[in-house]
């Protein structure tokens, strides 16, 4: 009887604890992911943004065309599948609309369909693209399927995301945006054209020539310094997202392992299996070692100092990547790279790598103001 009473008292205490625990605040992560996915779809649909021409065709003429002459089941499935995540994310992001989940579903389908319609119209001016009413129908169907999935299980997913965010991430207004930016950085590591952890290279975007001619010693020093700076940047950037826990160091170590695995697999798949570890140069080894030591010491600093140091290292790394000459050995490996279906993906990752520091710096500035 006494044991039963103790059990009852323990259950009551647990219930009181759960009742007093603050509810997780609404997460904006689905909204940020939906916006990022909108940009991704727009880029993939209009790349390479070159050789625009006017054929004198009405933008909406493709809507009245018959069944396309050339099509495959694979193409139809891809056009459905690509828009499915957009419908899902938009439904989660718009769940606060008046009218409940069905208003969110309607809005999501409308946004996805209008996006597809607009992109198909713009493709009239691109020589490598052919607007298609069948593509539009498949895109709208994919959006609708994703939206229905979001309405069916969206609230449960949102609650789980919010709870995990409350337990693992820092309680800041910018944390969802920071997660998206960190995910974008991870994606840039899949490009075999960029230096390890390198970002902010504007030479391809602005068609500039390297400021420093290639020499083995200078390349080694610049590569090591570049990787060291960016190791500090990414580690401190990720630290701004994490709650204060004893496992913070392990989480950061696991994140860098994931980044290096992505780099290795991308090189093996996109270039050649024997090039999987081409990134592991002597400069990379020294840069990772120095950057790891500096990052470990930096984590002992106060939060405001860590953010300021991350911003300084970010600017230094961006300057270094624009000074570092191209590695002729990497260029030789890439010369044999047949991009094929990866052309759009590679162009996207290259652009994201070029622009990432200029998106990360405002985020660090906003976080620094909070501290």
Q: Can you state the angle between helices 216-239 and 303-323, rounded to 10 degrees?
A: 150
341-358: average pLDDT: 75
Residues 6+ apart with CB under 8 A from 292: 231
The domains of the chain are located at 29-168, 175-370
117-130: average pLDDT: 85
Cα 182 to its chain centre, rounded Å, is 6
**Quick check: 309 and 301 in contact, CB under 8 A?**
yes
Q: With CA atoms as reference, report the closest residue to 240 among 184, 192, 282, 182.
A: 182
Q: Can you state the angle between helices 73-93 and 29-46, rounded to 10 degrees?
A: 150
What distances in angstroms separate CA 359 from CA 43, 141, 172, 366, one per listed residue?
17, 33, 18, 11
The whole-number pLDDT of residue 344 equals: 57
137-153: average pLDDT: 91
Residue-wise pLDDT for 218-232, tens only, equals 889 999 999 999 999
Q: Cα–Cα distance between 306 and 202 in angstroms, integer?
A: 26
**pLDDT tier at 12 (50, 70, 90 boundaries)?**
very low
Mean pLDDT lowest among 115-119, 163-167, 359-363:
163-167
Sequential DSSP letters for 156-181: HHHHHHHHHHHHHB---TTHHHHHHH
Cα 352 to its chain centre, rounded Å, is 9
Find where tokens 């002597």 sit: 282
- With 0.85 as the threshold, say if the pTM is over it: no
76-93: average pLDDT: 90
Taking 80 as the threshold, does the pLDDT of residue 168 lie above it?
no
What distances in angstroms separate CA 159 from CA 24, 162, 165, 187, 196, one per listed residue?
8, 5, 10, 27, 37
Q: Cα–Cα distance between 291 and 96 in angstroms, integer?
A: 44
Q: With CA atoms as reference, report the closest residue to 191 among 122, 265, 249.
A: 265
The whole-number pLDDT of residue 145 equals: 94
**pLDDT tier at 71 (50, 70, 90 boundaries)?**
low
Q: Can you state the angle between helices 248-270 and 175-188, rounded to 10 degrees?
A: 40
What does residue 242 show for φ and ψ, rounded to 5 degrees? -95, 145
The whole-number pLDDT of residue 327 equals: 65
Mean pLDDT lowest among 54-63, 148-157, 245-254, 260-269:
54-63
The whole-number pLDDT of residue 335 equals: 56
Taking 80 as the threshold, does the pLDDT of residue 66 lie above it?
no
Q: With CA atoms as reference, report the closest residue to 313 among 354, 361, 272.
A: 361
What distances in angstroms separate CA 348 from CA 39, 142, 188, 227, one per listed residue?
10, 22, 9, 22
Give the chain's mean pLDDT.
Answer: 81
Structure-model confidence comparison of residues 206 and 76, the more confident one: 76
Residue 48, preceding peptide bond in cis (omega within 30° of 0)? yes
């Amino acid at each position: 009887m006494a044991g039963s009473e103790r059990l009852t008292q323990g259950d009551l205490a647990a219930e009181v604890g759960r009742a007093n625990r603050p509810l997780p605040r609404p997460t904006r992560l689905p909204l940020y992911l939906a916006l990022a996915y909108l940009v991704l779809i727009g880029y993939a649909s209009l790349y390479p943004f070159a050789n625009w021409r006017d054929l004198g065709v009405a933008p909406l003429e493709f809507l009245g065309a018959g069944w396309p002459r050339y099509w495959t089941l694979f193409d139809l499935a891809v056009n459905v599948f690509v828009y499915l995540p957009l419908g899902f994310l938009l439904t989660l992001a718009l769940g606060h609309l008046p009218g409940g989940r069905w208003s969110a579903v309607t809005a999501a389908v409308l946004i996805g369909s209008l996006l597809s319609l607009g992109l198909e119209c713009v493709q009239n001016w691109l020589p490598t693209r052919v607007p298609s009413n069948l593509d539009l129908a498949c895109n709208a169907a994919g959006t609708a399927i994703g939206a229905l999935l979001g309405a069916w299980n969206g609230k449960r997913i949102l609650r789980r995301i919010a709870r995990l965010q409350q337990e693992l991430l820092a309680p800041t207004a910018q944390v969802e945006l920071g997660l998206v930016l960190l995910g974008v950085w991870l994606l840039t590591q899949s490009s075999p054209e960029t230096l390890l952890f390198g970002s902010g290279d504007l030479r391809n975007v602005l068609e500039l020539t390297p400021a420093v001619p290639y020499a083995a010693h200078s390349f080694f020093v610049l590569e090591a310094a570049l990787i060291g700076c960016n190791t500090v940047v990414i580690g401190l950037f990720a630290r701004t997202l994490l709650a204060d826990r004893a496992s913070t160091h392990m989480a950061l170590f696991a994140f860098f392992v994931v980044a290096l695995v992505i780099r290795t697999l991308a090189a093996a798949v996109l270039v050649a299996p024997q090039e999987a570890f081409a990134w592991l140069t002597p400069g990379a080894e020294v840069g990772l070692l120095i950057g790891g030591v500096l990052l470990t010491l930096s984590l002992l600093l106060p939060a405001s100092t860590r953010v300021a140091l991350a911003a300084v290292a970010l600017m230094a790394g961006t300057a270094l990547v624009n000074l570092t000459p191209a590695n002729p050995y990497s260029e030789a490996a890439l010369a044999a790279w047949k991009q094929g279906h990866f052309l759009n993906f590679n162009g996207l990752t290259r652009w994201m790598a070029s622009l990432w520091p200029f998106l990360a710096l405002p985020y660090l500035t906003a976080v620094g103001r909070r501290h």
